[in-house]
Structure 1
Amino acid sequence: MAGRSRIRKWLAWIAGALLALVALAVLALALFDWNRARPFIDDKVSQALGRPFTIAGDLSVDWRRDRDAGGLAALVPWPEFTARDIRIGNPDWAAQPQFARLDALRFRLAPLALLAHRVEVPMLQLVQPAVDLERDAQGRATWDFALPQGGAPSAWKLDLRRIGFDRGRIALDDALGQVKLAVEVTPLAGPIPYDQLVAQASDEARADASQSAGAAAGKTLAGQAPRDERVGNARGDLRYLFGWTAQGSYKGAPVKGSGRTGGMLALQDASQPFPLQARVRIGDSRIALVGTLTDPLHLGALDVRLWFAGSSMAKLYAITGVTLPDTPPFATEGHLTAQLRRGGSRYGYHGFRGRVGGSDLAGDLDYVTGGARPKLSGKVQSRLLRFADLAPLIGADSNAQKQQRGDATPQPADKVLPVEPFRTERWRAMDADVAYAAARIVHGEGSVPVEALDTHLTLDDGVLALSPLRLGLAGGTVDGRVRLDGSAAPMRGALQLHARHLKLKRLFPTFQPMQTSLGEINGSADLKAQGNSVAALLGSADGGLKLLMNDGAISRNLLETAGLNVGNIVLGKLFGDRTVKINCAATDLAAENGRFATRLFVFDTDDAEIDVDGTVDFASEKLDLDVQPHTKGFRVLSLRSPLYVRGTLKKPDVGVHAGPLLARGAGAVALGVAAAPAAALLAMVAPSHGDGDDGTCRKVLAKMRR
């Protein structure tokens, strides 16, 4: 019994001694004049940061309970350090003397964790921070700290859990990125629930869409968006506590924005989302988002609803780094997720929908960085696509549209073929693998009657390919592939297309004589070329072009409307102003270095069979053709005279040969040279399906083949 009593006494003495030591430690912390430690702290922190660090105000300690903690930790007081008037200097090269200044810095410290060599800071509070961020043209940035290298790793570890802040200011002057911003952060009058701000942000973004892309775009985005369980649900406990405004410039374009944030940023706990909301205008591009950020210390995850709107998607390249085509005014809305990693990040824009001009757009896209080049992949579809909205993508937009974008190239007065260069400089900035389909395409009067589109676009190290490329055109189909190598200088291109059963009455819906026609056009093109414009590509083309038309009609008015001045003049010389019915037209052209030569070029009409022989040089746009009519009977005496076509595409010279024409084409037919081209075109004459009469073309080609 006596032994047990002694043990109890010893344990009591030990417990009392420990309590006394704790009490003495607490008393020492409370009574110690911490201002005497400022020079030591300033020196050690300055060495660690590689920058001047100063606590210019008081340094004190208070004991407070952490009411946000659970269990015993919420009952036990924690030491809370407060350092006032903190200043962090900038490198000598910076324009501003200070990197940051805080009215005060408060942080709580877990004492027991110090026994395990761990500095555990449950919360760090920044009081009225002012930060000046600067980067010069050489890439030196004030936010890159020269931390000490080498030596044995420290046995101490920092565990920073949360950062809180209040009213503050951030200035950014980035000469390398051409960004200047001034951001002000202020407390809100009262907290705003997450769901309320989502609804408000949606209304604001749709108003921006209406202003940028028209009322129809606003109505499209006003419909019920597909619900995404990852955004907007189970967020009732989130509150926005601070508002911010930003103003400045980005690459010469004015920047203005505003938004709201939460008040406490969790650095370690990925389950604690930090609410974000922003509405920014850069030039005439508008961006809005609302959602959450989690695990920012490890560059974790962004999960927001995102809206874009502007005059052209191409202008987003400077903002996002994603190569996008020139488009009419647009607006989109979707769900953006981001997994941010230093070795490579992944962004997803899923379930998005919107409008581009008068066309709708929807789909899913992913953007991945970290490889040799970033890559964009996904699927995009349109229920309705206006051909006018597709025009800028294929270079068919008007000069007025190009001038509005500021990328128009003056067309030489003596040239017909467009010299506007392709914008390939961005093709090597990223890769792409995107499938696109348009179920229905509408076109205005005079436009090419494309009815549907289905293609697979790939972009690999500057090489753009559309393979396969399928078009529904004038009741028929066009299948093929296009390849443009933008990594080469000059650009190299290859085109393979096969057109089948294109209905003439749909190709020329406003030409009345064609509306009763059952005729069709069949053809193929296989060309290779190099150059950075349509003119340069055609001026260097090698390959062949075949075209076959039956049961058609032609007039000077039709050719004039189509801009075919040469054909307009030739037709007038042969037939006058009347409309001419064409039983069959067959063309086989061979191209070499931009010079297209006729292997076979024949028109069969009720009055005559007309042979065309010679060349069209697209490099110089010069014409060298002979037109030989073979009159059927004596009904049209004027058709007995052969014609010549000289001059250029811009200024053709058409006249009557003074003497008998030793037609190159006639000699070729006599030698049987036309047999092979006729046989190749004859293969395009498919058996009639009741919607056309190909008998005349079959007879004409069979005759030439013999």
Structure 2
Amino acid sequence: MAEDVPSPTATHPAPAPSAAGRPRRALGTPLAATLSAVATVIGLLVLAWTILFVTKGRFLKHSFERIASSQSGRQVKVAGDFQLYFAPINVKFVAERITVSNPDWAGRGNFFSAAKVDSRISTWSIVTHKYRFNWLGLQDAHVDLQWDRAGRRNTWTFKSGDEGGDPFELPAIRRGIVQGTMVRYLDPRMRIEAAIRVHTVEARDTRVENSIRFDGNGTARGTRFTMSGSLLSPNATVSGGENKLQLHAEAVRTSVDLAGTLPGFTQLEGADLRMIMRGRNLADIFLMFGIAVPDTRSYRMNAAVTRRGDEWRFTRLKGRFGDSDLSGRFTVAMKQPRLLLTADLATRTLDIIDAAPFIGYNPDKIEAQGGAGTIERVGGAPRILPDAPLRIEALKNFDARVNWNVNRVRANRLPMSNIKLGLTLNNRLLKLSPLNFSLARGTVTSDIIINARRNPVFTDYDIRLSPTPMGVLLAGFGVEEAGTSGTVKARVKMTGVGNSVRDSLANSNGRIAIILPKGSFWTRNIQLSEIDVGTFVQKMFEKKLKEPVQINCGLLGFTVRNGVAAADPILIDTSKNVMLGRGGFSFKNETLDLAFRADSKKFSLFAGQSPVGIGGYFSQPSINVITPELLARAGVGLGLALVASPVAAVAAFVDVGDAKDAACGPVLAGANARAQRDDKGRPRDDVGKGTTAKSEDGKRSKGERKEQRKKFLGIF
């Protein structure tokens, strides 16, 4: 049956194809493909090499400018010939009139420009980003190094944004020559601008043949300076290693030498430098950086110098100014909105002449004339108050915190020691507090505030002298210390307006009080004011007293109005007499016009009753013991002797001894003349009213002087 016949395909599988009928795979096809690919790459490289070699890669100029500009964030231009190709293995790079722009904040101009850069760069170093020049020829290059006004950004740090980025580092150089290189440095914050010329540099086998020498000039706050120096380790310098630096600079009668190491070619952070500085006036060099310090005599200083963050640190400071020593440390911090100067200083011995320039005396005159250099002649009259103006403009640039300790002061007749000065400056408000020192076993304590925020400057003086032994204080002036048990204390409380010490005092107001508590006083000239005929010869020729004067209490008080100080009062009560004084002195023209007289408490047959006059000037006082009034009395006595009898002549020199004892309470309190009383509690009518009857210029008219004499002297 048909359905029982099996299908041929179902019962007999199809025969397998014979081996001869299979497709054959080519032997070694993967290796051939690899070799083919390698050959293609090599061929392309050879083609590229050939194209680049033939064309010198000049067609890559615009691509180079675009890629370099994108990577650096600066505009890179090549205005002349450009070559970039393999020769044969190194990358040969040539660019004529190449420029790299400054960042936008630095304004127009270029960070780098060169007439020609001719180099061969290791190809492998490009791959590893550790660039090595097997040859570099650099011709007429200019580099512009700038800081921004805030001191936070610079032109040699390439940034991809507002933050980040790395400073430019010089690559390693095997062989090369650099000619005609100029570097410009600009720091607007410090107002420093410099142009530096780098001498020709040659390198062979990764070593520079000699030191890299440079010189230049510039200005700092308008003051010109010159500089020269060298990098003594140029082989480390060109590879970004540690740099040994020597630098010499001169400006405004000052020379500075720096020597040491820099961590990198353009890196000051962590520098280890030693500075030696010498000059005529330390203030000169500081003013170049906008910092006002007191004037000094000629000086020589040395210190270790480094930079940490925004601070320049000067440590291990040692040196001398004039005949005084100075040591310690100070730091200049680049703070906002002003620099901050901090210092801790110490002096073993301060010569008093060296301190004179601190308050405004001319250091050059002090250097040449010593103490005589403090005196000037104005219209024939001597002046001793300093008139150098405070450097107000410089005070705007910085704040300060200074501590200075002085162990000993070398001064004739002035036993000073242990000076402690604390100085703070905050936005032109200068405080000298404390300004303390030991004086003859007493202490002077001062707080002086100088407000330069006002124009003219306003100064507040508060100076106190604690009870001090007069014998020690005045030993240099003839006081017999062994017989003097008296003490003295004082206070000056004034305010003044003016930009110099002289102007400030010439417009001052306030009070000066010198108080003498109970004690004895022994000196060669203590009773000259009494002019008692019986002891006058003894005092003038024997030059000593047989016993001390016993002081009950005393006050030398002055009220200062517009620069003129009036006795208010001068009253010294002793066991034998009461000494009174009138007149005053003027800070305006530095004149003295004082008269002292002693009224005896006991009857004295021979008493001149004539005052001792103190006149002249602060720097040249004069003492007039035998005054015209005493001579007038002698004339009257002689006339009486001729007309009447010798007994009548004696009457001209009689002192009835009616001086009133003083109530010491108001005296010891430093009270003014109106508050003074006698020992009975009655107001005194012999101490004046605290005025000098002087005009605004500190001078009295002839009529005023005559009237004052009549009131004070009681002339016949």
Q: Same fold (TM over 0.5)?
A: yes
Alignment partner, residue 358 of structure 1? 323
2:508, 2:115 → 1: CA distance?
Answer: 67
2:69, 2:203 → 1: CA distance?
Answer: 38
For residues 531-610 of structure 1, what are the structure 2 equivalents within 5 Å?
A: 531-549=498-516, 551-552=520-521, 578=540, 583-584=550-551, 585-604=554-573, 608-610=577-579
Alignment partner, residue 257 of structure 1? 228
Q: CA deviation at 1:125?
A: 7.4
Q: CA deviation at 1:375?
A: 0.4
Does residue 273 of structure 1 match 2:238?
no
Change (3 A) 1:616 1:123: same
- The one-letter amino acid paired with 1:243 is I
Q: CA deviation at 1:175?
A: 14
- The one-letter amino acid paired with 1:351 is R
Alignment partner, residue 140 of structure 2? 130
SS in 1 for 2:396: helix
SS in 1 for 2:199: strand
For residues 249-398 of structure 1, what are the structure 2 equivalents within 5 Å?
A: 250=219, 251=222, 253=224, 255-263=226-234, 272-294=241-263, 300-339=269-308, 345-395=310-360
2:563, 2:42 → 1: CA distance?
Answer: 99
- The one-letter amino acid paired with 2:199 is V
1:7, 1:668 → 2: CA distance?
Answer: 139
Change (3 A) 1:460 1:239: farther
Does residue 492 of structure 1 match 2:458?
yes
Alignment partner, residue 478 of structure 1? 444
1:274, 1:129 → 2: CA distance?
Answer: 24
**Deviation digits for residues 221-248 of structure 1, max 9, x if unmatched?**
xxxxxxxxxxxxxxxxx99952324254
SS in 1 for 2:297: coil
Does residue 162 of structure 1 match 2:170?
yes
Q: CA deviation at 1:289?
A: 1.5
Change (3 A) 1:261 1:393: same
SS in 1 for 2:669: helix
User: Which range moves more in the overlay, 603-612 or 181-190?
Assistant: 181-190
Q: CA deviation at 1:630?
A: 0.6
User: Which range moves more in the overlay, 525-534 or 368-377?
Assistant: 525-534
Q: CA deviation at 1:278?
A: 1.2
Does residue 439 of structure 1 match 2:413?
no
Match of 1:680 among 669, 678, 681: 669
2:532, 2:100 → 1: CA distance?
Answer: 84
Q: CA deviation at 1:42?
A: 8.9
Change (3 A) 1:616 1:97: closer
- The one-letter amino acid paired with 2:402 is V
SS in 2 for 1:279: strand
Change (3 A) 1:490 1:328: same
Alignment partner, residue 73 of structure 1? none
Alignment partner, residue 117 of structure 2? 104
TM-score by length of 1: 0.66
**Deviation digits for residues 16-57 of structure 1, max 9, x if unmatched?**
478647844873586352252376379768998669743447
Contact (CA 8 Å) 2:252, 2:284: kept in 1 or not?
no
Q: CA deviation at 1:182?
A: 5.6
Q: CA deviation at 1:89?
A: 10
Match of 1:33 among 44, 47, 55: 55
**Deviation digits for residues 474-508 of structure 1, max 9, x if unmatched?**
23221221111223211111122221243444434
Does residue 430 of structure 1 match 2:398?
yes
User: Which range moves more in the overlay, 631-640 or 620-629?
Assistant: 620-629
Change (3 A) 1:492 1:101: same
For residues 603-642 of structure 1, what are the structure 2 equivalents within 5 Å?
A: 603-604=572-573, 608-619=577-588, 627-635=596-604, 637-641=606-610
SS in 1 for 2:285: helix
1:288, 1:175 → 2: CA distance?
Answer: 21
Contact (CA 8 Å) 2:362, 2:374: kept in 1 or not?
no
Alignment partner, residue 692 of structure 1? none
Contact (CA 8 Å) 1:354, 1:360: kept in 2 or not?
yes
Change (3 A) 1:21 1:645: same
Structure 1: 5+ residue stretches without partners: 65-78, 192-237, 559-566, 660-666, 683-699
- The one-letter amino acid paired with 2:666 is P
Change (3 A) 1:263 1:398: closer
Match of 1:524 among 481, 491, 509: 491
Contact (CA 8 Å) 2:340, 2:398: kept in 1 or not?
yes
1:411, 1:295 → 2: CA distance?
Answer: 57
Alignment partner, residue 230 of structure 1? none
Greater Rg by CA: 2
Change (3 A) 1:350 1:169: same
1:55, 1:632 → 2: CA distance?
Answer: 108
Contact (CA 8 Å) 2:567, 2:582: kept in 1 or not?
yes
Contact (CA 8 Å) 2:582, 2:595: kept in 1 or not?
yes
2:65, 2:224 → 1: CA distance?
Answer: 43
Change (3 A) 1:166 1:525: same
SS in 1 for 2:292: coil
1:431, 1:641 → 2: CA distance?
Answer: 56
Q: CA deviation at 1:282?
A: 2.4
**Deviation digits for residues 188-208 of structure 1, max 9, x if unmatched?**
9999xxxxxxxxxxxxxxxxx
- The one-letter amino acid paired with 1:432 is A
Change (3 A) 1:54 1:358: same
SS in 2 for 1:640: coil
Contact (CA 8 Å) 1:268, 1:297: kept in 2 or not?
no
Q: CA deviation at 1:122?
A: 5.7
**What is the root-mean-square deviation of aligned Cα atoms in Å?**
5.6
User: Which range moves more in the overlay, 368-377 or 635-644?
Assistant: 635-644
User: Which range moves more in the overlay, 596-605 or 422-431?
Assistant: 596-605
Alignment partner, residue 457 of structure 1? 423
For residues 166-181 of structure 1, what are the structure 2 equivalents within 5 Å?
A: 166-170=178-182, 181=195
- The one-letter amino acid paired with 1:162 is L
Change (3 A) 1:359 1:624: closer
Change (3 A) 1:158 1:495: closer
Contact (CA 8 Å) 2:460, 2:496: kept in 1 or not?
yes
Alignment partner, residue 76 of structure 1? none
Contact (CA 8 Å) 2:93, 2:121: kept in 1 or not?
no
For residues 25-64 of structure 1, what are the structure 2 equivalents within 5 Å?
A: 27=49, 31-34=53-56, 36-37=58-59, 40=62, 53-56=78-81, 60-62=85-87
Match of 2:199 among 185, 188, 192: 185
Q: CA deviation at 1:100?
A: 4.3
**Deviation digits for residues 532-570 of structure 1, max 9, x if unmatched?**
2333222232332221345445678x9xxxxxxxx9999
State, as a whole percentage, how many aligned pairs show the same letter: 16
Contact (CA 8 Å) 1:582, 1:603: kept in 2 or not?
no
User: Which range moves more in the overlay, 385-394 or 598-607?
Assistant: 598-607
SS in 2 for 1:482: strand
- The one-letter amino acid paired with 1:385 is L
- The one-letter amino acid paired with 2:140 is A
Q: Number of residues paired by the alignment?
A: 587
Contact (CA 8 Å) 1:266, 1:294: kept in 2 or not?
no
Contact (CA 8 Å) 1:316, 1:324: kept in 2 or not?
no
1:398, 1:129 → 2: CA distance?
Answer: 49
Change (3 A) 1:35 1:246: same
2:142, 2:169 → 1: CA distance?
Answer: 25
SS in 2 for 1:452: strand
